[in-house]
Structure 1
Amino acid sequence: MRHVSAAPAAREYLSAFYRGNHASFVAAIALTLLDVPAALVGSWIIGEIIDVITSADPGRLTQLLAFSAVFLVASVAISTGMYRAKCAFIYRALAQYKELAFRRLSEKGIRAFTRESTGSYLSLLTNDVASIEENYLKRGFLLLYQALLFVATLVMMFFYSVPLTLATLLLCALPIVASVLMGNELAARERSVSEGNERFVSQLRDLLAGFSVIKSFKAEEEARGLFGAANTSVESLKRARYWWECLIGAVSQNFCASLLQFGVFFIGAFLAVGGQISAGTVLIFVNLCNYLIAPINVVPQYWASRRAALSLVEKLAEVVGQNAEHAGEKVEPALRRGIELSRVGYSYVPGTPVLEDVSMTLAAGGSYALVGGSGSGKSTLLNLLMGADDGYAGSIALDGHELRGVDSASLYDLMSLIDQSVFIFDDTLRRNVTMFRDFPEAEVADAVRRAGLADLVAEKGLDYRCGENGSALSGGERQRVSIARALLRRTPVLLLDEATAALDARTAFEVTEQILSLDGLTRLVVTHRLEAPLLARYDQIFVLRGGRVVERGTFDELMAARGYFYGLYTVSA
């Protein structure tokens, strides 16, 4: 019941079902064991009543009536307790499974969310969990019940007639073998449905996220076509799985029911005519056949479904295990000397460099700007500094510690990134700024002020709900929330990737000025706003072109050189 043969990576997730959940599990198993003989007692009562009729014993009939009344009350009590224990176990097991999955998901590195499809995670934690609930947990108990019922039925049959029981077993063999063999294909089809659900969820997420673009370009028909194709694909996979489930049921139920019941009835009649068993025993056998047919019908199907659900647990373990967060050298959350990049290169596609031979020194406490045209590698460089990928060439050293070898959690304590894409949770302003943690009110107020959120907070309050992905906020307000988050964390290094792009010119100027005025902070700012008063405050400006640093210097030095930067500045002026 506890573990079908599972891959080692999946065992942690299977164990989550039982953590602190043993009492409900044991109670459910114990009551299931008691429920099995309760089912067989009914067959015994029917046989006894037939024999009482033939013997005309009213006293015995009265005893059977009293026993039946007690049996019914006990049976209802056992069944009620069993279902209650099952419910308690299953729903705690699922909660713990999902919590463990999300915990491991949250431990993945940043690269997991830049390279992998979030549709996969959505499907794993929704569609797949529903299948695991039904096919692994619920059917696990049913599998145990039916298997025990099958064994107990055979024991009872052997007690009444060994020859008829052996004949019954021979009649059962063929459908059992056929159903088990067909179960392997069901596991493969279940995994295909899971993968199809991933693609469907990813497509649906993209269509909903890009709805405004679809409407503005009048691409509704094309969007419906994309949805239709994804929907047809996944439903075709579901149909193929359901057809196979039905085929397994047809082989087991139709073939088995006809063969077993007619066979047992005729063989039993032959033995009864020969005086080897009574008519009551034949009726007991015919009734007990129902308890053989049910397990033969469902056990192979349930076993196949359980194996298919187990493959989904293994798939979760496999996906969550990819791009796990880097565990390496722990560094203190302080930058004492600075960040040194030496001949750094990087490619998304082999042979097509995005960064090439980039070298720069960022002294601790300094302010630096990255400027350049679109596609020059500015955002890629900041992502590398945040540990998005250790597959870069050259060296990136933080106070002499190579970035590849630095523990991810230590890195996030050292630096934070404000980028162009902002996510706002459907929660209050306060919880979005603090990211659900507790900070002193004075620090929250200071971050709000520096990020330019003071007017909004004065009007709406920190308990104002932001809506799904900040739907109740303007684009500029969402960007300010993102800036306030980073300022509140006060990491020693702050990376900004067009962080003020969504703000109006005046607010952008004020927010950037606030950031540049912070003491003891190392700043690297990607900006397209080339404003002389701000540019003059940077200790050094690095100019990227085609993935290379083509110029570097202070604002005055670069203007005097009249090179590529001078051209960018004059065009933007």
Structure 2
Amino acid sequence: MTLPPLLLPRSPLALLGFLAATLNALVRVAVAPLLVAPLFDRVFVQGDFDALGGVLALGGAALLTGALALWAQDALLGTLAARTSERWRAGLYEALLKRPLTRAESSGGLAGRLLADLREVETYVQFGLGTLVAESLTLLGSLAYLFYVNPEATLVLLGAALPLALTLTVVGRRIEASTARAQAHLEAVSAHVQEGLAQGEVGRAFGLGGFLLGRFGPANRGAARAQTERALWAALQTPLAQLLGFAALALLLFVLTRSVRAGAMSLGEVTAFITLLALLSTPAQLLPRGYALLQGARAAAARLHALRALPPAPLPPPSASSPPPRAPVLQLDGVSWRSEGRTVLHELNLTLRGPALVALTGESGSGKTTLLRLALGLLEPSAGRVLLAGAPLGAFPEAELRRRLAYVPQHVTLFRGSVRDNLLLGRELPESALWEVLEAVALAGALRPRGLGAPLAEGGAGLSGGQRQRLAVARALLSDPDVLVLDEPSANLDEASEAVLARVLQAQARSRLVLVVAHRPALVRAAHQVLVLRGGKLAPAEPLNV
């Protein structure tokens, strides 16, 4: 995939930037015939000093126009780079949020790819694209004028350009390949950094520093090797271009001297010719750098398109019929789920009717979390159906399904912001509704002195583990769901906090179906029904406190 698809939605900005670059190039090419040639032929050779003012005025106007064109070029392409990155950051972030839950890519690695590759493209658009356009047009325009003045000398110049172009193509391919390798290694580096930082006190408690550094080291060294390789190839471009340019210049001077001696060129034309040659040194130096940026951006663009093409998590096809009336009834009808050739859940048939508190237990790896994700519609069954209130999940619009099914994961996600922000998550609800759910989870008393505007650090720092868990439950209850699903909510709580949580869930089970994965005794004892998952199959239900 090439770069144009990245820029097409902003094509008016790109077009204006190209026009400004074109004007900039035309002005630079016109300086020699409009200013240099008349200055030497009319003023210095013919002695017409009265023409000096007009020549200088024309040259000054050309230079001012060129300066304004250069400013417009950089401003327009800089704006194009910023807006392209803004649009693609949003689109890629949305695509990552929709990716399947079972994908193996590290979130840190994907985030690193998004930011690093977008920066590569942004740098090219802002600094390389205008350079390639303006310098290429300057080169072509200069060659056209040179050919008009002296075809023989121009052909010599073109003959020298062929090995230069071949050399730059080979070097550019090497840069593109090393850039792709460097980006892959940097993605791994980002993943290892996030993994190590996420360990926190656990990593220090278990002395994992050496282990984590050992995993980080190869990726870091690989990135350094690939970046060094890219730098070495990029550093080779300009010296090669200069060496070939100097050789061509020596040959050109020989041809020009012979033309002057034969009377085929005037002194002003020779001076203009040499001036354009001097101006061509700028494209000779900048074009290789712009080409190097292009190769890096092409590799980054291909990776960005691959990232955006990640398939979203499958959802049941929407039904044309209206969703059924609300009822706290969840059914699994012959549900199976397979992953990587292994059957995790085997033809589960289950009907759960609320109001009730149902505990799901089983050994680690028995498929409990997978069952919850299927029940929530976050995974699609390999076989069978999941029904809510007697209707397949596909009968519900996505927003309605998320309102009726609420989820509290094992690892609570709390964002940097206020308590209110973490409860609402962008929704608009009256403050009384927030205090109502906080009362329901026995958290209002602890939070009332600080208020809903009290700041929370990332991860909910400042709250206890039990308070963080109950805040997540309160957030889920704001939609007044028919079914509340929790994945091991007491795993990291002490006995006192677990007892409070158990009372909260028992209270909620009076008006809705509460399905909770539980291992700890307090939650299991609090349940009305206990399901045991063994080998991907459900053991008979065990009634407890009905």
Whether TM-score is above 0.5 comes out as: yes
The equivalent residue for 2:234 is: 245
Q: Does 1:257 align with 2:245?
A: yes
Asked whether the equivalents of residues 176 and 300 of structure 1 are also in contact (C-alpha less than 8 Å), the reply is: no
The equivalent residue for 1:571 is: none
Please show how residues 163-182 of structure 1 align to structure 2 within 5 Å: 163-182=152-171
- C-alpha distance in structure 2 between counterparts of 1:535 and 1:324, whole Å: 39
Deviation at 1:393, TM superposition (A): 4.6
The equivalent residue for 1:435 is: 425
The equivalent residue for 2:67 is: 76
CA distance 1:165–1:373, change in 2 (3 Å): closer
The equivalent residue for 2:276 is: 288
CA distance 1:492–1:234, change in 2 (3 Å): same
CA distance 1:529–1:262, change in 2 (3 Å): same
Asked whether the equivalents of residues 40 and 153 of structure 1 are also in contact (C-alpha less than 8 Å), the reply is: yes
CA distance 1:471–1:47, change in 2 (3 Å): farther
Q: Name the SS of the counterpart of 2:541 in structure 1.
A: strand
Q: Name the SS of the counterpart of 2:455 in structure 1.
A: coil
Asked whether the equivalents of residues 110 and 387 of structure 1 are also in contact (C-alpha less than 8 Å), the reply is: no
- C-alpha distance in structure 2 between counterparts of 1:247 and 1:401, whole Å: 66
Letter in 1 for 2:82: Y
Deviations 1:90-114 (A, max 9, x none): 22222222122223333434445xx
Question: Among residues 457, 464, 473, which one is paired with 1:467 in the alignment?
Answer: 457
Deviations 1:157-184 (A, max 9, x none): 1332233222322221221133224433
Deviation at 1:198, TM superposition (A): 0.8
Asked whether the equivalents of residues 339 and 399 of structure 1 are also in contact (C-alpha less than 8 Å), the reply is: yes
- C-alpha distance in structure 2 between counterparts of 1:83 and 1:322, whole Å: 34
Asked whether the equivalents of residues 136 and 310 of structure 1 are also in contact (C-alpha less than 8 Å), the reply is: no
The equivalent residue for 1:227 is: 216
Q: Name the SS of the counterpart of 2:386 in structure 1.
A: strand
Asked whether the equivalents of residues 355 and 547 of structure 1 are also in contact (C-alpha less than 8 Å), the reply is: yes
Deviations 1:535-556 (A, max 9, x none): 4652x32122343322313116
Normalization by structure 1: what TM-score? 0.85
Asked whether the equivalents of residues 326 and 407 of structure 1 are also in contact (C-alpha less than 8 Å), the reply is: no
The equivalent residue for 2:491 is: 501
Deviation at 1:268, TM superposition (A): 1.1
The equivalent residue for 2:434 is: 444
- C-alpha distance in structure 2 between counterparts of 1:254 and 1:82, whole Å: 26
Q: Does 1:57 align with 2:48?
A: yes
Normalization by structure 2: what TM-score? 0.89
- C-alpha distance in structure 2 between counterparts of 1:332 and 1:105, whole Å: 29
Unpaired segments ≥5 residues, structure 2: none
The equivalent residue for 1:104 is: 95
The equivalent residue for 2:352 is: 362
Q: Name the SS of the counterpart of 2:406 in structure 1.
A: strand
- C-alpha distance in structure 2 between counterparts of 1:536 and 1:200, whole Å: 45
Letter in 2 for 1:469: G
CA distance 1:441–1:230, change in 2 (3 Å): same
Deviations 1:491-537 (A, max 9, x none): 322111122334443443333333333354222111223348x7465
- C-alpha distance in structure 2 between counterparts of 1:181 and 1:407, whole Å: 54
Q: Which segment is superposed worse, 340-349 or 402-411?
A: 402-411
CA distance 1:443–1:150, change in 2 (3 Å): same
- C-alpha distance in structure 1 between counterparts of 2:167 and 2:255, whole Å: 24
Asked whether the equivalents of residues 532 and 541 of structure 2 are also in contact (C-alpha less than 8 Å), the reply is: yes
- C-alpha distance in structure 2 between counterparts of 1:104 and 1:547, whole Å: 31
Letter in 1 for 2:303: K
Superposition CA RMSD, Å: 3.0
Letter in 2 for 1:271: S
- C-alpha distance in structure 2 between counterparts of 1:70 and 1:323, whole Å: 56
The equivalent residue for 2:32 is: 43
Q: Name the SS of the counterpart of 1:460 in structure 2.
A: coil
- C-alpha distance in structure 2 between counterparts of 1:109 and 1:26, whole Å: 38
Deviation at 1:277, TM superposition (A): 0.9
Q: Does 1:212 align with 2:201?
A: yes
Question: Among residues 119, 124, 127, which one is paired with 1:130 in the alignment?
Answer: 119
Letter in 2 for 1:225: G
Letter in 1 for 2:168: S
Asked whether the equivalents of residues 337 and 363 of structure 1 are also in contact (C-alpha less than 8 Å), the reply is: yes
CA distance 1:495–1:237, change in 2 (3 Å): same
The equivalent residue for 2:515 is: 524
Asked whether the equivalents of residues 360 and 517 of structure 2 are also in contact (C-alpha less than 8 Å), the reply is: yes
Asked whether the equivalents of residues 187 and 305 of structure 1 are also in contact (C-alpha less than 8 Å), the reply is: no
- C-alpha distance in structure 2 between counterparts of 1:357 and 1:231, whole Å: 46
Letter in 2 for 1:152: G
The equivalent residue for 1:271 is: 259
Asked whether the equivalents of residues 484 and 513 of structure 2 are also in contact (C-alpha less than 8 Å), the reply is: yes
Letter in 2 for 1:341: L
Asked whether the equivalents of residues 242 and 285 of structure 2 are also in contact (C-alpha less than 8 Å), the reply is: no
Asked whether the equivalents of residues 387 and 408 of structure 1 are also in contact (C-alpha less than 8 Å), the reply is: no
Q: Does 1:514 align with 2:504?
A: yes
Asked whether the equivalents of residues 440 and 474 of structure 2 are also in contact (C-alpha less than 8 Å), the reply is: yes
Letter in 1 for 2:294: R
Question: Among residues 176, 185, 205, which one is paired with 1:196 in the alignment?
Answer: 185
- C-alpha distance in structure 2 between counterparts of 1:185 and 1:403, whole Å: 51
The equivalent residue for 1:317 is: 305
Deviation at 1:349, TM superposition (A): 5.0
Asked whether the equivalents of residues 376 and 405 of structure 2 are also in contact (C-alpha less than 8 Å), the reply is: yes
Asked whether the equivalents of residues 78 and 125 of structure 2 are also in contact (C-alpha less than 8 Å), the reply is: no
Letter in 2 for 1:477: Q
Q: Which segment is superposed worse, 389-398 or 181-190?
A: 389-398
Asked whether the equivalents of residues 345 and 354 of structure 1 are also in contact (C-alpha less than 8 Å), the reply is: yes
User: Segments of 4+ in structure 1 off by > 6 A?
Assistant: 404-407
Q: Does 1:147 align with 2:140?
A: no
CA distance 1:334–1:32, change in 2 (3 Å): farther
CA distance 1:218–1:329, change in 2 (3 Å): same
The equivalent residue for 2:443 is: 453
Deviations 1:184-229 (A, max 9, x none): 3332322222211110100010111113222112333333333333
Deviations 1:128-177 (A, max 9, x none): 11101112453222211112112211222133223322232222122113
CA distance 1:184–1:387, change in 2 (3 Å): farther
CA distance 1:88–1:188, change in 2 (3 Å): same
Deviations 1:250-292 (A, max 9, x none): 43x2333212222222211121122111233223222212444
Asked whether the equivalents of residues 7 and 84 of structure 2 are also in contact (C-alpha less than 8 Å), the reply is: no
- C-alpha distance in structure 1 between counterparts of 2:21 and 2:336, whole Å: 63
Q: Which segment is superposed worse, 505-514 or 257-266?
A: 505-514
CA distance 1:295–1:491, change in 2 (3 Å): farther
Letter in 1 for 2:233: W
Asked whether the equivalents of residues 342 and 395 of structure 1 are also in contact (C-alpha less than 8 Å), the reply is: yes
Identity of aligned residues (%): 23
The equivalent residue for 2:481 is: 491
Q: Name the SS of the counterpart of 1:359 in structure 2.
A: strand
CA distance 1:26–1:394, change in 2 (3 Å): closer
